[in-house]
């Protein structure tokens, strides 16, 4: 298949829609991003990459980081992790407090904010320090992306903290139900720091390979997690990766994927490739509008959906 030609075709087709999305504006550092940017990359199992657009431009990965913190926590705690968080879609916005209240402080899944904050708390327990927990997430990401240059943007994480009232409220609510062990501010700070990691689509598509290959990096043969755990993470991405638009994403794209409010999306074609797309303008559910469209075009043109 001529992947390069397909990516170029997609890029042409989606560009007119770039102005239709709305960039995240809850913090100034994200509100100032130019919405007229687009990049898409795929990485195959032998390391071959195909990319189009602003493929070298690093952006805030935001909630995509939840896939990596969940991976680390699942590897560390195994099934015990599910005593703290569930695996069902929430059907609610990513930062909703309501469901968490009536479900007694147990988040529906690791990809809504409450769930990801809870996962971060579990990692702080395990590494016995907030700083180490953050560094382990960062180092894991560097390892799966095979890139040591990856950093977290402090301007973004500080700004997240300054405007983070709702996430802090979610953490406090979990704490009130005894489902958060560490200091709220410290846990939320680690969460914001891993959300503020910056990567480009080339790095992200490379980083997804272990999930496309049963937990083993196909390029260097490193096993990160068991095949069983990789299956679970893919399943949670498919059912919960796009918040209350997860059904819509499965319907139109048909791949396990995870979005972030920075406009990035990662997806996996099992046994074949990692994919990442970036277009900062979001749809009403907080997922990249053009990114979702580009992935839909990709699976339509290549017939590479899992269905
Ligand atoms: N840092 C963002 C927040 O907690 C992540 C949300 C997202 O990417 O969907 O609000």
Question: What digits encode the pLDDT tens for the residues 1-45?
Answer: 999 999 999 999 999 999 999 999 999 999 999 999 999 999 999
CA distance 163 to 27: 7
Residues in contact with 139: Cβ distance below 8 Å, sequence separation at least 6, in sequence order: none
CA distance 201 to 163: 27
Beta bridge partner(s), residue 42: 50, 275
Which listed residue (23, 50, 60, 66) is catalytic?
66
**Is 191 labeled as catalytic in the residue annotation?**
yes
**Is 163 labeled as catalytic in the residue annotation?**
no
Report whether pLDDT(94) > 80.
no
Residues in contact with 307: Cβ distance below 8 Å, sequence separation at least 6, in sequence order: 254
| Encoded tokens for 44 | 């195959």
| Encoded tokens for 168 | 């802090």
Q: Tell me, what DSSP letter sits at residue 83?
A: G
| pLDDT (tens digit per residue) in 210-229 | 999 999 999 999 999 999 99
Which has the higher per-residue pLDDT, 244 or 136?
Answer: 136
Which listed residue (23, 243, 268, 276) is catalytic?
243
Mean pLDDT of 144-166: 97
Report whether pLDDT(92) > 90.
no
Mutation probe of ligand 1 site: the residue of 61, 63, 266 with most atoms within 8 A of C-beta:
63
Looking at residue 95, its pLDDT comes to 81
Share of the chain above pLDDT 90, in %: 96
Which listed residue (191, 258, 276, 277) is catalytic?
191
Looking at residue 30, its pLDDT comes to 93
**Which residues sit with their C-beta closer than 6 Å to ligand 1?**
62-63, 94-95, 113, 160, 167, 195, 260-261, 286
């Amino acid at each position: 298949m001529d992947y390069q030609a397909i990516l170029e075709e997609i890029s042409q087709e989606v560009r007119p829609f770039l102005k239709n999305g709305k960039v995240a504006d809850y913090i100034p550092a994200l509100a100032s991003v130019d919405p007229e940017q687009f990049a898409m990359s795929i990485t195959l199992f032998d390391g071959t990459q195909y990319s189009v657009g602003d493929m070298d431009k690093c952006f805030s990965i935001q909630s995509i980081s939840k896939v990596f913190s969940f991976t680390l926590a699942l590897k560390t705690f195994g099934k015990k992790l599910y005593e703290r968080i569930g695996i069902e879609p929430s059907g609610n916005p990513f930062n909703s407090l309501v469901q968490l209240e009536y479900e007694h402080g147990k988040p529906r899944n690791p990809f809504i904010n409450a769930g990801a904050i809870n996962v971060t708390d579990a990692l702080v327990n395990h590494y016995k320090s907030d700083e180490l927990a953050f560094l382990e997430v960062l180092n894991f990401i560097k390892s799966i992306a095979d890139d040591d240059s990856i950093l977290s943007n402090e301007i973004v994480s500080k700004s997240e903290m300054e405007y983070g009232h709702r996430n802090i409220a979610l953490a406090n609510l979990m704490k009130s139900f005894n489902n958060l062990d560490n200091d709220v501010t410290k846990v939320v700070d680690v969460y914001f720091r891993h959300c503020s990691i910056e990567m480009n689509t080339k790095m992200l598509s490379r980083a997804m390979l272990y999930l496309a290959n049963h937990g083993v990096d196909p390029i260097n043969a490193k096993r990160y997690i068991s095949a069983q755990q990789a299956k679970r993470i893919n399943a949670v991405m498919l059912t919960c990766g796009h918040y209350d638009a997860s059904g819509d994403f499965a319907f139109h794209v048909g791949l396990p994927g995870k979005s972030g409010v920075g406009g990035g999306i990662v997806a996996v074609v099992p046994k074949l490739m990692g994919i990442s797309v970036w277009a900062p303008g979001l749809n009403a559910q907080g997922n990249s509008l053009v990114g979702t469209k580009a992935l839909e075009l990709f699976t339509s043109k290549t017939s590479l959906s899992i269905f």
